[in-house]
């Protein structure tokens, strides 16, 4: 007897619209990916905006300190110092130390949402977890901070990948290998942009630059 929901093949069950179980599994996977992307977007925005956040396996811890000691009546800007930390499964995968200033708004108030950073130091660390989730969270932060490269896995190695067009036609992928889990994205950006850049170089092996 042949089931109306089952299609058999030599290798087993084909994934068809007639097989409801396979459809549910696929939809469940898509839902999980959608939730993961949503958490990445929300957590990355919270990290950059220095706001507390906690959902599922991701958490943002932060501190924001206005520098009132240097402010005097009539000043249009108020300086601040801030720290933002991204935790994934309680591992500190991204750390940011930032300082800048907040302009006075029309109501003579200073708001964190209007902050303008003057200096920013970022440190990224995979913490030994070379997983798709770890890379996605880090890539979310890299994108939110305005970096033009991503972290990926090639031949079981962690690498930084920059995509660019040659003569607006051919897409080329530039690679920086990561022999260590920790790296400075500002340093990586300078290496990518240097005239001496060679694709496939180990970023962590560069000492004098």
**In this predicted model, what pLDDT tens digit does every residue of 18-36 receive, in sequence order?**
445 556 555 665 565 677 7
- pLDDT at position 84 is 98
Residue partners of 94: CB distance under 8 A and separation at least 6: 47, 85, 86, 122, 123, 124, 125, 137, 138, 141
The average confidence (pLDDT) of the chain is 86
- pLDDT at position 170 is 65
Question: Do the beta carbons of residue 205 and residue 175 sit within 8 Å?
Answer: no
Question: Do the beta carbons of residue 5 and residue 20 sit within 8 Å?
Answer: yes
Same domain flag for 114 and 34: yes
Say how many domains are in the chain.
2
Same domain flag for 28 and 83: yes
Question: Do the beta carbons of residue 209 and residue 190 sit within 8 Å?
Answer: yes
Same domain flag for 122 and 182: no
The residue from 92, 127, 162 where one domain ends is 127
Within-domain flag for 4 = no
Within-domain flag for 28 = yes
Per residue in 95-150, pLDDT tens? 999 999 999 887 778 988 899 999 999 999 999 999 999 999 999 999 999 999 99
At 12, the pLDDT band (50, 70, 90 cuts) reads very low
Q: Which residue from 133, 152, 134, 151 is spatially nearest to 142, judged by alpha carbons?
A: 151
**Average pLDDT value for residue range 55-76:** 94
Same domain flag for 17 and 120: yes
Within-domain flag for 152 = yes
Within-domain flag for 97 = yes
Same domain flag for 16 and 114: yes
Instruction: Supply the DSSP symbol for 119.
Output: E
Same domain flag for 41 and 85: yes
- pLDDT at position 153 is 96
**Average pLDDT value for residue range 198-209:** 91
The residue from 98, 127, 156 where one domain ends is 127
Q: Which residue from 176, 180, 175 is spatially nearest to 124, judged by alpha carbons?
A: 180
Strands (E), the chain: 8-9, 12-13, 53-55, 58-66, 77-88, 91-103, 116-125, 150-154, 157-166, 170-177, 182-183, 201-202
Same domain flag for 70 and 39: yes
**Average pLDDT value for residue range 142-168:** 91
Region class of 156: left (phi > 0), else alpha (psi between -120 and 50), else beta: left
- pLDDT at position 205 is 95
The residue segments making up the domain with residue 27 are: 12-127
Same domain flag for 22 and 109: yes
Structure tokens at 73: 């009546």
Within-domain flag for 139 = no
Does residue 3 register a pLDDT over 50? no
Within-domain flag for 136 = no
Rounded to whole angstroms, how far apart are CA atoms 83 and 65? 9
Same domain flag for 81 and 18: yes
Within-domain flag for 80 = yes
- pLDDT at position 164 is 82
Structure tokens at 7: 């299609």
Same domain flag for 99 and 193: no
Same domain flag for 43 and 90: yes
Same domain flag for 151 and 114: no
């Amino acid at each position: 007897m042949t089931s109306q929901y089952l299609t058999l093949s030599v290798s087993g069950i084909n994934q068809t619209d007639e097989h409801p179980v396979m459809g549910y599994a696929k939809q469940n996977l898509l839902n999980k990916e959608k939730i993961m992307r949503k958490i990445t977007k929300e957590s990355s925005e919270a990290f950059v905006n220095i706001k507390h956040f906690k959902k599922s396996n991701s958490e943002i811890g932060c501190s924001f300190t206005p520098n009132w000691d240097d402010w005097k009546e009539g000043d249009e800007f108020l300086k601040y110092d801030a720290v933002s930390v991204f935790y994934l499964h309680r591992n500190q995968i991204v750390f940011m130390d930032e300082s800048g200033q907040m302009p006075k708004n029309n109501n003579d108030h200073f708001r964190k949402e209007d902050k303008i950073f003057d200096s920013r130091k970022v440190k990224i660390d995979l913490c030994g977890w070379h997983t798709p989730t770890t890379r996605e969270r880090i890539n979310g932060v890299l994108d939110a901070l305005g970096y033009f490269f991503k972290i990926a896995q090639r031949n079981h190695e962690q690498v930084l990948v920059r995509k660019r067009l040659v003569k607006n036609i051919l897409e080329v992928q530039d690679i920086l290998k990561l022999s260590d889990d920790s790296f400075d994205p500002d340093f990586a950006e300078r290496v990518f942009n240097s005239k001496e850049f060679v694709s496939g170089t180990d970023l962590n092996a560069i000492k004098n630059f």
